[in-house]
Amino acid sequence: MRKPLLLGTRGSLLATTQSKWVANQLAGVEIKLEIIQTTGDDLSLSLMEPLQPGAFVNTLRSALIAGEVDFIVHSLKDLPSAPHPELALAAIPVREDHRDVLVSLNNLELDAIADGSIIGTSSPRRMATIKARYPGLIVAPIRGNIDSRIAKIRNGEYAGAILAAAGLNRIGRRADIAQYFEVTDILPAPAQGALAVECRADNTAMIALLSGIDDARTRMTSIAERGVLQGLNAGCDLAIGSFAYFNEDKVVLLAELGNPATGQNQKIRESTKIKSVSDFEAAYELGLLVASKFER
């Protein structure tokens, strides 16, 4: 009897939901989830700490390289921008909602929240944007999974928090969203809403299997967005947002580099012609071009 494939995942509701979704896309394949505790799950550590890149990623990758699991699933925005020499990004499935959203006390939108109120986010990108657009609000770090963050809002510890729409959608908490932010309001994190499915680079059979759930359009836009990170040699402490979309035979890339301390932001918009939705080199070069135009 053939053994089931082992899928490594963090133990949070969001992580296991994402992993189960990926498993369900692989029709006819028996898959077992293996829960792996990561350093990013330690709530005593700060997500603002620049010395801990890949806090949700490294332990999963170590288990994969050691052969403890056959493949792993991450939120693509959590992956370091540089590729891993021993691993293959075998699939980037179709993207969920890319937008940021507000969950707030009494379901108020940001414009209606009183100055001096506390908005929670542990993202330098979101912090910079909120400080720029809503200088009267206080921005403070917030930790925990989606459920615990929402609980901190409902009990009045925070007036609201900025979260990713994709996460709330995936765990069935869309009804908690008070406000959606379009890319003209807040640019999302590079590849926000997309998933990354990794396996060992020498496992050709697994690469072939996972490639069946790859979405070329999502991969294309994600490569462009993450190319900005690579061009800036960005870590998790950099306030960078980016979003790419198709416009006929072009890919358009919007990017913003913010300063969480001052709220001052630089915005860049560039586009490039593509040969097809698999012209990944052009997408990557577009990301590098945009990165080169920022003043640092």
Residue 44 banded pLDDT, cuts 50, 70, 90: very low
Query: How confident is residue 244, by pLDDT bands cut at 50, 70 and 90?
Result: very high
Amino acid at 51: L
Q: Which of 123-132, 165-174, 200-209 has the lowest mean pLDDT?
A: 123-132
Which stretches does DSSP call E strand in the chain?
5-9, 31-35, 71-75, 87-91, 100-104, 118-120, 138-140, 160-164, 179-181, 195-200, 239-247, 250-258, 265-273
User: What was the pLDDT predicted at 175?
Assistant: 97
Whole-number CA gyration radius for the chain: 19
Pick the CATH number of 100-181 from 3.20.20.150, 3.40.50.360, 3.40.190.10, 3.20.20.70: 3.40.190.10
Q: Looking at residues 240-246, what average pLDDT do you find?
A: 97
What confidence tier does 46 reach under pLDDT thresholds 50, 70, 90?
very low
The yes-or-no verdict on residue 21 having pLDDT over 90 is: yes
In the predicted model, what is the mean pLDDT of residues 127-153?
Answer: 94
Q: What is 216-296's CATH topology?
A: Double Stranded RNA Binding Domain (3.30.160)
Domain ranges of the chain: 1-93+194-214, 100-181, 216-296
Out of 78, 100, 176, 279, which one is annotated catalytic?
Answer: 78
Helix 146-154 crosses helix 13-25 at what angle (to 10 degrees)? 140
pLDDT digits (tens, 9 = 90+) for 89-106: 999 999 999 999 999 999
pLDDT given at position 125: 92
CA 7, 11, 14, 16: dihedral to nearest 10 degrees?
30
Q: How far is it, in rounded angstroms, from Cα 192 to Cα 147?
A: 19
Measured distance CA(34)–CA(73) in Å, rounded: 11
* Residue 155, Cβ density class (10 Å: 0-12 exposed, 13-18 middle, ≥19 buried): exposed
1-93+194-214, what's its fold?
Answer: D-Maltodextrin-Binding Protein; domain 2 (3.40.190)
Catalytic: 78? Answer: yes
Q: At what angle do helices 216-232 and 280-292 cross, to 10 degrees?
A: 30
Q: What is the mean pLDDT of residues 263-277?
A: 91
- pLDDT-based confidence at residue 295 (cuts at 50, 70, 90): confident
DSSP letter assigned to residue 5: E
